[in-house]
Amino acid sequence: MITVKSLHHTFSIGKKGHERKVEVLKGINFHIQTGEIVAIVGKSGSGKSTLLQTIAGFMKPDSGSILVNNTEIAGFTEKQSAAFRLDHFGFIFQNFQLLPSQTVFENIELPLKLKGVSRAIREKKVAELLKKVGLTSVADHYPNELSGGQQQRVSIARAMITNPPIILADEPTGSLDSQTEQEILSLIRLLNKNENLTFVIITHDEEVASIADRQFRMTDGVLVGGMLHVI
């Protein structure tokens, strides 16, 4: 599903002419199989979010290989990366990133609109997902009318709407209380089991990481671990 080999990425820090290079990813290697939940655990600044962004194609690595479904994406142009993302990845963010002027229904259907899917198919698919994530009754509500847990469920439904094989989640419960966190983690595990979705979860939270089949540890740009974790 995802194979990363010898991945390096460097940031330049400081004023022009006086920059210094900071290596954020230091030769990352790992493999994720279809249908796994994998957690990448690390402190803020460890490089875990940079790794997620390079996998998603938002950042271009300095060197190395990123294979997704046997397609090499590390050298993609911005346009190629955007098209690939739409077909292969769904995204869940800590701060939900919902459009405040759009209803729950409209937020979820947006990726389908970007793909040019007809209105009839959009309505059918959104209705199905609203049922799966337990939000049918609030389909016409706006984000500011929802609880944090409901907003994250909208985000999850939006991530799934194009049937991507991979969901990339960056601190998916970071803005939620402990009870709501457990509800969202239970939903992730249910969707993983029922839909065979592959989840890559970036987190600093051991409770979140505990739902994963395997855990990797990121420290100062180095990734280690990945042994099978029995839940």
Under DSSP, the state recorded for 47 is S
Has residue 150 been placed in a domain?
A: no
Has residue 57 been placed in a domain?
A: yes
CATH of the domain at 221: 3.40.50.300
Has residue 74 been placed in a domain?
A: yes
Q: For residue 83, what are the β-bridge partners?
A: none
Question: Percentage of the chain with pLDDT > 70?
Answer: 98
Has residue 121 been placed in a domain?
A: no
Q: How far apart are CA 59 and CA 140, in angstroms?
A: 35
Ramachandran region of residue 69, left (φ > 0), alpha (ψ -120 to 50) or beta?
left
Q: How far apart are CA 88 and CA 94, in angstroms?
A: 20
Domain count, the chain: 1
Has residue 72 been placed in a domain?
A: yes
Helices (H), the chain: 48-56, 78-88, 104-114, 119-132, 148-160, 178-195, 206-209
pTM: 0.90
Domain that holds residue 215: 2-99+165-228
**Average confidence score pLDDT of the chain:** 92
Check residue 124 and give its pLDDT: 96
- Are 168 and 90 a contacting pair, CB within 8 Å? yes
Has residue 138 been placed in a domain?
A: no
Check residue 228 and give its pLDDT: 60
